[in-house]
Amino acid sequence: MFRVYIAGISSYLPENCVHNNDLSETLDTSNDWIVSHTGISYRHLAAEHESPSSMGIAAVKDVLQKTGIAAEELGMILLSTTTPDYAPIPSTACVVQDAIGAKNAVGLDITAACAGFVYGIELARAYMQIHQRPILVVATEMLSRVTDWNDRKTCVLFGDGAAAAILLPSPDGERGVVESLLKSDSSGKDVLKIEGGCRTSTSHTDNIPLTIFMDGKSVFTFAIRILPAVITQLMKNNGLTIDDIDWIVPHQANYRIIHSAANRLGVPESKFFINVQNFANTASASIPIALVDMEHRGLLKPGHKIITVGFGAGLCYGGNLIIW
Ligand code: UT7
């Protein structure tokens, strides 16, 4: 059977690690509120000299070295970001392509918010059925640049970071992506936005800064509904039960969302990998950053069955069932 597998994965996190208590020095918030409402303690924030592409490139260089794939071998670079280097052209994928010298690849950005890595895996799987060449899937997010640092309802939630994965044809037809579900419920397109695009400008003299807006409660309600639904559907489609699944790797938005999904599914919380406490919500980079974290902790073994679930603006969502 033709399958596509993740041959290697790396992440990059900016050096500056900020604790909740650092934020409460200048903002009307507290460590207690942030921990009790989100589970977040720390987030990494990019330095002035960094950009979404520079973070992505750091992760890409590492994964190329790890897998022994040369940049010239890449057939495609799929890059997920909600914070592109430029708004919106050239694509950040092309910026990364140029920097690493992947001159035989096609570069394409994915706009699917926090579901972007899940989408990227499935798009890579589909493209590779025709062009059987290595594909790089990158997720890089610098939400600190589009956050209103006076808005306590959003600014405490996000962190910066990037990750990159090399996808190859499965060596044994067993390991790899078994199935993906990709969905979008655009009736919720207004509950999570980065304002400041052409629709919000009224003339060429406008210079509206990009700023994130979120109706947190609506996103929360959506997330606790779709997280169990995606997991259940992927298991059902493949004749699996929760006992067959080794790990669920959800988008790391809020500990309470994961806790609620575990309760609704009647699954022990220990099935879910959770690291939101250390990195906050890094949008589409959160799932691949979690996978790297799991590898570092020795939690992922070849043959493990894992389900990823991403959800965010759009409202885009989906999941991948992967045999690691
Ligand atoms: O990756 C994209 C997906 N995004 C998400 O998954 C986010 C989903 N939403 C959430 O995680 C939650 O809705 C939040 C964490 C954003 C908010 O939690 P909540 O329990 O819905 O809080 P709330 O917005 O209802 O606010 C409760 C109170 C309010 O005060 P009043 O009006 O009751 O007096 C807020 O002003 O908490 C206040 N508050 C804060 N207090 C201290 C809001 N943010 C803060 C804060 N520090 N940072």
- CATH number of the domain that 144 lies in? 3.40.47.10
What is the CA(215)–ligand 1 centre distance, in A?
9
d(CA 158, CA 285): 11
Residues 148 and 185 placed together within one structural domain of the fold: no
Going residue by residue through the chain, which has 324 residues, state the pLDDT in tens, using 9 for 90 and above.
Answer: 899 999 999 999 999 999 999 999 999 999 999 999 999 999 999 999 999 999 999 999 999 999 999 999 999 999 999 999 998 899 999 999 999 999 999 999 999 999 999 999 999 999 999 998 999 999 999 999 999 999 999 999 999 999 999 999 999 999 999 999 999 999 999 999 998 888 766 666 566 678 899 999 999 999 999 999 999 999 999 999 999 999 999 999 999 999 999 999 999 999 999 999 999 999 999 999 999 999 999 999 999 999 999 999 999 999 999 999
| Residues whose beta carbon lies within 6 Å of some atom of ligand 1 | 29, 33-34, 37-38, 114, 152-153, 156-157, 216-217, 219-220, 223, 253-254, 257, 281, 283, 312
Whole-number pLDDT of residue 87: 84
Residues 279, 297, single domain; the answer is yes
189 shares a domain with 106: no
Asked if 67 and 166 touch (Cβ cutoff 8 Å), the reply is yes
Q: How far apart are CA 311 and CA 58, in angstroms?
A: 25
Give me the domain span that covers residue 244.
Answer: 176-200+207-323
Q: Are residues 27 and 127 in the same domain?
A: yes
Residue 273 shares a structural domain with residue 144: no
> Which residue, chain included where needed, has tokens 């990158």?
138
Question: Are the C-beta atoms of residues 277 and 43 closer than 8 Å to each other?
Answer: no
User: Is the same domain home to 148 and 213?
Assistant: no
The predicted pLDDT at position 79 comes to 98
Query: Does one domain contain both 142 and 65?
Result: yes
Q: Check whether residue 101 and residue 187 sit in a common domain.
A: no
Q: Are residues 11 and 142 in the same domain?
A: yes
What pLDDT does residue 129 have?
94
Which of 138, 68, 134 is closest to 105 using CA atoms? Answer: 134
Phi, psi dihedral angles at 25 (to 5 degrees): -70, -30
Active site residues: 114, 251, 281
Q: Number of structural domains, the chain?
A: 2
Report which of 269, 282, 275 is spatially closest to residue 310, judged by C-alpha positions: 282
Q: Are residues 189 and 240 in the same domain?
A: yes
Query: What's the 216 CA to ligand 1 centre distance in angstroms?
Result: 6
One domain, residues 22 and 47: yes
- What confidence score (pLDDT) does residue 302 get? 95
> What is the C-alpha to C-alpha distance for residues 117 and 251, in angstroms, rounded to an integer?
10
What DSSP string describes 249-274?
EE--S-HHHHHHHHHHHT--GGGB--
Task: Give the closest residue to 43 by CA, choosing from 141, 123, 118, 129.
Answer: 141
Which residue from 220, 222, 251 has its CB within 8 A of the most atoms of ligand 1, so it is best to mutate? 220
Same domain as 134, residue 180 = no
* Predicted pLDDT of residue 199: 78
